[in-house]
Chains A and B, each alone.
Chain A
Amino acid sequence: MKPKLAVVKMTGCAGCQMEVLRIEDKLLDLTGAVEIAYFYMATSANRHGPYDIVLVEGSVSTPRELRELKELRDGAKLLIALGDCACSGCLPSIVNWVPPEESAKVYERFLEIHSRKESFQRVSPLSAHVRVDLELRGCPPNRDAILEALKGALLGIRPFLREHPVCVECKLKENACLLVCEGRPCMGPVTAAGCGAACPSNGRVCEGCYGPMSDANASSLAEIFARRCGLSQEDIVRKFRKYAGLMPAFSKEAGGKI
């Protein structure tokens, strides 16, 4: 019997699911190897769980999502966090530093809606609540990494995920270093690879959207940003409090724990 695959959306932008759809030509092949049992954005034939392989896009931001996540975890052989929101909270995690009374102002009748449709007004990555078997980072993660993860899941082997810095991919592309040569505040030295150095290869600094690499030395880079690039303390906080400010490797530079 083919393993059952579920693609589930929590609090996010659907960009990661769009990247799954970008597998395109291989998507039809994939349906030969797995049964797509749950994928609300793509099909109206959705089956009840449990599912063998679960891809979760988005972070946890409501009690309903938390219940759903726990249920998915209980039934799943493999739970894969798909993209930054699920892995680290991504850009919406910046709201965690905003006082709830400020974010509530966005809705004039916040409490009224809130009483019926609860929200934590905070986002958290999946790993804050359940065991996650694999994290596919990036905003969005590259489709090759998604395919690699699915192949790994089917073959029962560990996919090759890149935890070295973006700098390695930049060197392979023979880009001139934006930090060393031009003194620009590039997050590449502390950011996990996987994007193919998308930003530096296109003439702009890395913004850190794959989150921290393994053993990232954030404080050293923050010091270089101040000394070499002339960034203010506020600017440095903004740099680290962006895609992965909740991650322990960046939390000090992102302005401390909340």
Chain B
Amino acid sequence: MSEVMEIRVDYVARVEGQAEILVKVVGDRVEEAKLAVFEPPRFFEAFMVGRKCGEAHEIASRICGICHVPHQVAALEAVEDGLGIEPDEQTRALRKLLNYANHISSHALSVYFLSVPDYFGKPDVISMASEHPDLVRNAIRLKKVGDDITERFGGRAIHPVTLVVNGFTRIPTKADLEWAKKELLNVKGFAMEGVDFIAGLDVPDFERKCEHIALSQPDQYAINEGRLISTEGLDIPPREYRDHIEETHTDYSWTKRSIVRGRDSFLVGPLARVNLNFDRLSDDAKEAARRSGFKPPVFNPFMAVLARAIELVNAIDDSVSIIENLKLDKGPVREDSFEVKAGEGFAIVEAPRGILYHNYAFDARGIIQKADVVTPTAHNSRNIERDLEALAPKLRDLSPEEAVLMCEMLVRAYDPCISCSVHLLNAK
């Protein structure tokens, strides 16, 4: 009789949203390896139809309370693409600064609040505070810098309000910029130490080669603009996304799952970005990465935690250099100061957890006729299952508790955002 191993996690903790893990191995055969999302859908793409294109980003922001900025930037870029508007340098620089602030806050949360406790046998970051007070205090400070920059430049830390089509309703002052630079430099040291600290953790030894996809630009680390490239040779502009990426459905999950047409599932997020854009990281980020032994390409999904720590250094450095180069010569714009016309636009932005695709079509009055959004967690969901499948046979040597923990750690390493993934797709 074959030995049966079953893993059931009915509500994965320390991830955003509601999902369960189901793994079943009979003998040598993996019978089941599922990430089933029971978080209910919210039908964003259905109810955005009939709304004005100028409010697409405000509505899309509510797809996710963690990665609200990238949702706003992607929606704005897609709407501007459809309207034929090319935002100026200052607007693009400020948007990149805000997206980096979001990455800093989200990565600090994911690395230190959600992932690290597993490596110390603790249920959460609060229970680590007595034994590791400095680590916890610094992690909170790091996250706070991201939130505070969003609040000061965006008018609110969560769902900021100053980003609008073709500009900002409030332009930061010189004093704002100086303050932000100081705040960022204050946490730089901890971010650098963080890479060494994460590199010293006992990361599970596991590798599965799969396609990694990320945005890429020749002259800078891409998070808001660029072409979509992959480890398997994909190289396309955002508007060709649907020709290459398709979605599949299952009956056990509200999350759709993506694959590259004619190929397989793929990985998006910090690991894919660092692997594909290693040369464009800041010098200190590259140096910290080398010291940590990170040699791209890395195909161990658990190493995404280290990639996040490396990106934290890069986000701080790149933000400081954006601040130093900002001239602030363009004034604020109103939320409705643009001409509407019929059109369709596309955009891809890197959210902290990976590429985010937005596409809108609107009529001559600027009323949305079609909305299509694919989130990072929808992109990763099939790949997480493929990793679970490959990991499952190795779990038999572990105690039941350790096996469950390993599955949860894998899911946490992807930093999934379940709410995002069930916002709903393809209302046509």
> When the two chains form the complex, which single residue of B39, B155, B157 contacts A201, counting CB atoms closer than 8 Å?
B155
- Does any Cβ of A come within 8 Å of B215's Cβ? no
Q: In the complex, identify which listed stretch (B22-30, B121-129, B338-346) lies at the interface while the others stay far away.
A: B121-129
Q: Are B13 and A40 in contact (CB under 8 A)?
A: yes
> When the two chains form the complex, which single residue of A41, A108, A140, A184 contacts B16, counting CB atoms closer than 8 Å?
A41
- Does any Cβ of A come within 8 Å of B397's Cβ? no
Q: Are B65 and A140 in contact (CB under 8 A)?
A: yes
- Does any Cβ of A come within 8 Å of B414's Cβ? no
The answer to whether A94 and B47 touch (CB under 8 A), given A19-B158, A198-B155, is yes
- Does any Cβ of A come within 8 Å of B8's Cβ? no
Q: In the complex, identify which listed stretch (B261-269, B284-292, B382-390, B418-426) lies at the interface while the others stay far away.
A: B418-426
> How far is it, in angstroms, between the C-alpha of A38 and the C-alpha of B43 when the chains are bound?
28
A100 to chain B, nearest CB (A): 10
Q: In the complex, identify which listed stretch (A24-32, A69-77, A162-170, A219-227) lies at the interface while the others stay far away.
A: A24-32
> How far is it, in angstroms, between the C-alpha of A117 and the C-alpha of B44 when the chains are bound?
18
Q: In the complex, identify which listed stretch (A42-50, A127-135, A148-156) lies at the interface while the others stay far away.
A: A42-50
Q: Are B124 and A44 in contact (CB under 8 A)?
A: yes
> When the two chains form the complex, which single residue of B14, B158, B408 contacts A140, counting CB atoms closer than 8 Å?
B158
Q: Are A92 and B42 in contact (CB under 8 A)?
A: yes
* Chain A, range 7-34, C-beta contacts under 8 Å to B: 9, 11-19, 21-22, 24-25, 27-28, 31
- Does any Cβ of B come within 8 Å of A145's Cβ? no
Q: How many A-B Cβ pairs are below 8 Å? A: 188
- Does any Cβ of B come within 8 Å of A199's Cβ? yes
> How far is it, in angstroms, between the C-alpha of A139 and the C-alpha of B63 when the chains are bound?
12
What is the chain B residue whose CB lies nearest that of A43?
Answer: B124
B interface SS class? loop
Q: Are A14 and B47 in contact (CB under 8 A)?
A: no
- Does any Cβ of B come within 8 Å of A257's Cβ? no
The answer to whether A65 and B14 touch (CB under 8 A), given A14-B66, A91-B62, A107-B424, is no
> When the two chains form the complex, which single residue of B17, B43, B55, B251 contacts A113, counting CB atoms closer than 8 Å?
B251
What is the chain A residue whose CB lies nearest that of B154?
Answer: A202
- Does any Cβ of B come within 8 Å of A215's Cβ? no
Q: Are B62 and A92 in contact (CB under 8 A)?
A: yes
B51 to chain A, nearest CB (A): 7
- Chain B residue contacts of A117, Cβ below 8 A: 38, 40, 252-254
The answer to whether A108 and B164 touch (CB under 8 A), given A13-B65, A43-B13, A117-B254, is no
What is the chain A residue whose CB lies nearest that of B13?
Answer: A44
Q: Are B251 and A98 in contact (CB under 8 A)?
A: no
Quick one: CB contact mask for B117-158 with A, threshold 8 Å, 1 for yes?
A: 100000111110100000000001001100100000001111
- Does any Cβ of B come within 8 Å of A251's Cβ? no
- Chain A residue contacts of B38, Cβ below 8 A: 64, 117
- Chain B residue contacts of A62, Cβ below 8 A: 40
* Chain A, range 167-226, C-beta contacts under 8 Å to B: 184, 195, 198-199, 201-205, 207, 209
- Does any Cβ of A come within 8 Å of B161's Cβ? yes
Q: Are A28 and B58 in contact (CB under 8 A)?
A: no
Q: Are B40 and A119 in contact (CB under 8 A)?
A: yes
- Does any Cβ of B come within 8 Å of A258's Cβ? no
- Chain A residue contacts of B126, Cβ below 8 A: 27-28, 31, 36, 42-43
Q: In the complex, which range does the number of interface residues on chain B fall in?
A: 35 or more
> How far is it, in angstroms, between the C-alpha of A16 and the C-alpha of B62 when the chains are bound?
11
- Chain B residue contacts of A106, Cβ below 8 A: 41, 43, 45-46, 424-427
Q: Are B14 and A44 in contact (CB under 8 A)?
A: yes
The answer to whether A45 and B124 touch (CB under 8 A), given A106-B45, A204-B334, is yes
What is the chain A residue whose CB lies nearest that of B428?
Answer: A105
- Chain A residue contacts of B68, Cβ below 8 A: 13, 15
> How far is it, in angstroms, between the C-alpha of A228 and the C-alpha of B45 when the chains are bound?
32
What is the chain B residue whose CB lies nearest that of A195?
Answer: B156
What is the chain B residue whose CB lies nearest that of A123?
Answer: B42
- Chain B residue contacts of A31, Cβ below 8 A: 126
Quick one: CB contact mask for B155-181 with A, threshold 8 Å, 1 for yes?
A: 111110110100001100000000000
B212 to chain A, nearest CB (A): 26
> How far is it, in angstroms, between the C-alpha of A136 and the C-alpha of B43 when the chains are bound?
24
- Does any Cβ of A come within 8 Å of B394's Cβ? no
Q: Are A14 and B65 in contact (CB under 8 A)?
A: yes
The answer to whether A28 and B419 touch (CB under 8 A), given A21-B109, A92-B44, A102-B46, is no
- Does any Cβ of A come within 8 Å of B52's Cβ? yes
B184 to chain A, nearest CB (A): 18
- Chain A residue contacts of B64, Cβ below 8 A: 13-15
> How far is it, in angstroms, between the C-alpha of A55 and the C-alpha of B419 when the chains are bound?
18
Q: Are B158 and A92 in contact (CB under 8 A)?
A: no
A142 to chain B, nearest CB (A): 9
Q: Are B15 and A41 in contact (CB under 8 A)?
A: yes
B337 to chain A, nearest CB (A): 11
- Does any Cβ of A come within 8 Å of B18's Cβ? yes
Q: Are B140 and A24 in contact (CB under 8 A)?
A: yes
The 4 A-B pairs at the shortest CB distance, nearest first, are namely A15-B65, A45-B123, A43-B124, A44-B13
A sample of 24 inter-chain contacts (CB < 8 A) reads A11-B40, A11-B42, A13-B62, A17-B65, A24-B140, A24-B144, A28-B129, A41-B13, A42-B124, A46-B13, A97-B47, A98-B43, A103-B424, A105-B46, A107-B425, A109-B251, A112-B251, A117-B253, A198-B155, A199-B155, A202-B155, A203-B332, A205-B335, A207-B58
Apart from A19-B157, A45-B124, list 9 A-B contacts with CB within 8 A: A40-B13, A41-B15, A42-B113, A42-B125, A45-B123, A109-B249, A116-B252, A121-B43, A198-B161
Binding site for B on A (CB under 8 A): 9, 11-19, 21-22, 24-25, 27-28, 31, 36, 40-46, 61-62, 64-65, 90-92, 94-95, 97-98, 102-103, 105-109, 112-113, 115-117, 119, 121, 123, 139-140, 184, 195, 198-199, 201-205, 207, 209, 235, 238
Binding site for A on B (CB under 8 A): 11, 13-18, 38-47, 49, 51-52, 55, 58-59, 62-66, 68, 109, 113, 117, 123-127, 129, 140, 143-144, 147, 155-159, 161-162, 164, 169-170, 249-254, 256, 332, 334-335, 408, 417, 419, 424-428
